[in-house]
């Protein structure tokens, strides 16, 4: 088990410049981040660090072609997707590991657009083993914040791989190296809000899991800003953000902070955005700026203490060991433990198998560019057709294609446990 990284942000002033860089403390060592770095003029506000490629660059940016595909997904209410790759037959973990690290998280981030406040998904992998296809499926998991996507998929992936390994060890002489995965199925449901009536309701917006454990970042009874004060502050923030590019007037007596995500560790950390001078006996209130997946403003979250008080001391004692009380699995982050507990230690995970004579066909699928998800991805537009081998095959199908077969109106995903020697490859 690895120690939970403890992030800190460091500002260095050198004559006419102010430099920001991110550090994290893990396994007794201090690490300098190679991806979180910014330099501005010394007299500029800290917001300029994040407006010059920081916050803006972290918003999801879609090309016209990607937006067109997303529009089709929404119009046809597609909720089931297949990732396919024939080249991964030689190694079980290769295709699944890459897809869970990049493809599936990116797909779920797509789903967070257009008034979506949460997504619920489950993952099924089709394992070619023991001359059959075994179907391992996870339980459903709700993701309430787009910053939680990577860790949520990562936890599901680890739990599925552990169950595959345990099943193979207990059920056969086959090992992991003798199996392959060439199909992954993701089922996604989107939880939306009413764009007109509930757009300002803060109950729809939650903090990312990595921040919910920090005492200073949670809403407490000590946060007493009225709705009218909050509305006035929100209007002032948006006005100066749009018209003054993040330059706020000195008389704006409030401290604003933003969120950054490290591209290296995927860890979230809070950084100063606007820090005002404190008047005597009148401490400034503190707020965290929360944006949606596109980088657009959602709301201001009041903090009970300044961020400097929230940051943990790197010289303090090590974090308490994290483990699940039910199954004793250990974790490197509290957020991962929370996800594991939401999945009830895998209690709702299942395993099934396909009959040797069964072929599943998903016709007229929506192809999604490989450049987006690295491996071929298809949106399922029609219910599957279940056939027995040897039955009549639609004349428009071309069985010579391995990863999918072509039909008149689009590609088709085929699942079968046909042998490698079969003249018709269904993998």
Return the residue matching tokens 């936890």. 155
CA–CA distances in Å: residue 253 to residues 239, 286, 287: 16, 10, 11
pLDDT at 80: 96
> Which residue(s) pair with 122 in the sheet?
187
All structural domains of the chain with their residue ranges: 6-61+225-304, 79-194+332-389
The full DSSP string for 177-227 is GG-EEEEEEEEEEEEE--TTTSTT-GGG----HHHHT-GGGS--TT----H
Mean pLDDT (whole number) for 323-340 = 89
Higher pLDDT: 84 or 194? It is 84
pLDDT at 243: 83
Phi, psi values for residue 285, rounded to 5°: -85, 155
| pLDDT exceeds 90 at position 149 | yes
> Which residue(s) pair with 118 in the sheet?
191
Residue pLDDT, tens place only, 68-104 = 888 999 999 999 999 998 675 656 678 899 999 999 9
Q: How far apart are CA 20 and CA 294, in angstroms?
A: 24
| pLDDT exceeds 70 at position 204 | no
Higher pLDDT: 390 or 200? It is 390
The full DSSP string for 245-281 is TT---TT--EEEEEEEE-TTT--EEEEEEE-PPPBTT
Higher pLDDT: 67 or 143? It is 143
User: Which pLDDT band, with edges at 50, 70 and 90, does 359 fall under?
Assistant: confident
pLDDT at 410: 62
Instruction: Lowest mean pLDDT of 42-51, 226-235, 286-295, 397-406, name the range.
Output: 397-406
Question: Which of 39-43, 312-316, 421-425 reaches the highest mean pLDDT?
Answer: 39-43
Mean pLDDT (whole number) for 395-400 = 40
Of all residues in the chain, the percent with pLDDT exceeding 90 is 26
Strands 132-137 and 350-353: antiparallel
Where does 1-148 have alpha helices with state H? 47-51, 55-58, 64-75, 92-98, 104-111
pLDDT at 82: 94
Mean pLDDT (whole number) for 254-277 = 84
Q: How far apart are CA 173 and CA 129, in angstroms?
A: 11
Higher pLDDT: 411 or 138? It is 138
Q: How far apart are CA 319 and CA 28, in angstroms?
A: 11
pLDDT mean across residues, the chain: 79
Residue pLDDT, tens place only, 375-388 = 889 999 888 888 87
pLDDT at 186: 97
The full DSSP string for 34-72 is EEEEEEEETTS-THHHHHTTTHHHHS----HHHHHHHHH
Answering whether pTM is above 0.75, one says: yes
The full DSSP string for 356-388 is TTEEEEE-S-EEE-HHHHSSEEEE--S--EEEE
Put residue 126 in one of left, alpha, beta given phi > 0 → left and psi -120 to 50 → alpha: beta
pLDDT at 51: 80
């Amino acid at each position: 088990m690895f120690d939970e990284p403890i992030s800190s942000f460091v500002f260095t002033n050198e004559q006419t410049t102010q430099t920001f860089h991110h550090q994290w403390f893990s396994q007794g060592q201090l690490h300098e981040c190679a991806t979180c770095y910014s330099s501005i003029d010394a007299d500029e506000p800290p917001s300029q660090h994040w407006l010059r490629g920081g916050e803006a660059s972290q918003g999801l940016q879609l090309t016209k072609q990607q937006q067109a595909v997303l529009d089709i997904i929404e119009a046809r209410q597609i909720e089931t997707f297949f990732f396919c790759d024939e080249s991964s037959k030689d190694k079980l973990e290769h295709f699944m590991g890459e897809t869970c690290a990049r493809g599936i998280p990116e797909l779920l981030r797509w789903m967070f657009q257009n008034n979506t406040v949460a997504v619920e998904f489950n993952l099924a992998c089709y394992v070619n083993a023991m001359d059959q296809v075994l179907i391992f499926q996870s339980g459903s998991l709700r993701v309430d914040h787009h910053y939680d996507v990577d860790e949520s998929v990562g936890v599901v992936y680890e739990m599925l791989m552990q169950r595959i390994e345990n099943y193979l060890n207990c059920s056969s002489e086959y090992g992991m190296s003798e199996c392959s995965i060439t199909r992954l199925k993701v089922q996604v449901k989107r939880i939306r809000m009413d764009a007109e009536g509930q757009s300002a309701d803060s109950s729809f917006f939650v903090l990312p899991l990595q921040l919910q454990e920090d005492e200073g970042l949670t809403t407490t009874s000590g946060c007493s800003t009225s709705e009218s004060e909050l509305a006035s502050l929100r209007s002032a923030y948006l006005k100066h953000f749009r018209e003054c590019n993040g330059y706020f007037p000195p008389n704006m007596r409030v401290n604003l902070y933003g969120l950054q995500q490290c591209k290296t560790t995927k860890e979230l950390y809070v950084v100063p955005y606007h820090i005002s001078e404190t008047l005597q006996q009148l401490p400034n209130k503190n707020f965290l700026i929360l944006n949606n997946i596109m980088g657009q403003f959602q709301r201001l979250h009041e903090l009970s203490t300044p961020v400097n008080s929230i940051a943990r001391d790197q010289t303090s004692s090590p974090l308490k060991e994290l483990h699940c009380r039910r199954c004793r699995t250990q974790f490197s982050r509290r957020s991962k433990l929370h996800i594991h507990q939401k999945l009830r230690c895998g209690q709702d995970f299942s395993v099934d198998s396909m009959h040797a004579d069964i072929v599943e066909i998903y016709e007229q699928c929506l192809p999604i560019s490989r450049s987006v998800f690295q491996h071929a991805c298809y949106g399922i537009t029609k219910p599957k057709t279940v056939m027995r081998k040897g039955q009549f095959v639609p004349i428009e199908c071309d069985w010579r294609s391995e990863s999918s077969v072509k039909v008149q109106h689009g590609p088709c995903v085929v699942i079968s446990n046909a042998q490698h020697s079969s003249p018709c490859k269904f993998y």
